[in-house]
Amino acid sequence: MPERAAGTGSTGSVETVAGPVRDPGATLMHEHIFGLSPEILWNWPDIPEGWDLELRAREAADKLTELKGHGIDTIVDLTVIGLGRYVPAVQRVAELTEVNIVVATGIYTYDALPPYFGNRGPGSLFGGPDRLAEFFVRDIAEGIGDTGVKAGILKCASDHLGMTAGCERVFRAAAQAHRATGVPITTHSHSASRGGLEQQKLLASEGVDLSRVVIGHAGDSTDLTYLEELIANGSYLGMDRFGINTISPFEDRVATVAALCERGHAGRMVLSHDSYCFNDRFDHEVVRRRHPDYHLLHISRDVLPELRRRGVTEEQIHRMLVANPRDILTRREPY
């Protein structure tokens, strides 16, 4: 396990691209600014999607500024290695908008690790120490690359394949980095197979306080028994794919949040879309036609009014959008 990291920022604050803030305000906890495919962009720069940093940064900033007008102050950008994280572009966006942006460290894979890590470390082709936690801690304590931007959250994933050997290495490294730095953990989980429980079990085995964990994509499930089991184990639920109605329709997503609020669980949920300002992996026109609500304004425009109509109180909405994210993101002491 890494030693406690020095220089990780003061406790009691939230690390953003522009530096630490005391109060992030209304926060969407699972979004993305850019999803990029570097090798495609390097080798076929004329693809229709195109990549011009200044153009895409201004487009993204315009979307975030519009979001600010709908009452959202902060977004958590969970783009990590495996999704095309490029923090210099996110820095430019942050210069152009008043919305706070929290960035993440971690690795996104459902199966094997990227070869750089897959060929190094215990049980790999070349063996040696597992340096994943070291890399994650560096992003948190020193900053990402040469940007000086410090990650404010750890991201790890498992999906329909379950906790593969590669995923397990990432989860264990995230747990170690979490304990060394005090920053929270959020996950990508597969609700259909109740995958959040497996994630909790592994993180707990590494000594993680599960109240410092968000089980992402829990909102894909309508199984209240499963969701309440995740809550009973201590974690927050990421009700964070509003607008992706092919996995779970709008009606089911809002009904599930309303039911959990009625059962007294508003203090254990956060809201988001899992949307992108720009993603070269998708055909934008196809996405627009198939997912017309898959955008940053859907929660403000559609979800919150429907939750209110179903009896969710302003206090509960404030808890899910403001108080819970602040509690999750505020830096704690290592342990």
Question: pLDDT tens-digit profile of 59-88?
Answer: 999 999 999 999 999 999 999 999 999 999
pLDDT (average), residues 19-25: 96
Q: Rounded to an integer, what distance in angstroms lies between the CA atom of residue 28 and that of residue 136?
A: 23
- Per the prediction, the chain carries an average pLDDT of 95
Q: How far apart are the first and last CA of the chain?
A: 11
Q: Calculate mean pLDDT across residues 195-213.
A: 98
Dump pLDDT digits (tens) for 289-335: 999 999 999 999 999 999 999 999 999 999 999 999 999 999 899 99
Averaged pLDDT for residues 107-119: 96
Of 162, 182, 185, the C-alpha closest to 172 is: 185
Which residues are known binding-site members?
Answer: 30, 32, 155, 188, 217, 274
What's the pLDDT score for residue 284?
A: 87
Check pLDDT > 80 for residue 196. yes
pLDDT over threshold 80, residue 241: yes
Q: Which residues are annotated as a binding site for Zn(2+)?
A: 30, 32, 155, 188, 217, 274
Per-residue model confidence (pLDDT) at position 182: 97
Res 7 pLDDT > 70:
no
* CA 219 from centroid of its chain's CA atoms: 14
44-51's contacts with Cβ under 8 Å and 24+ in sequence apart are: 47/280, 49/280, 49/284, 51/280
pLDDT of residue 123: 87
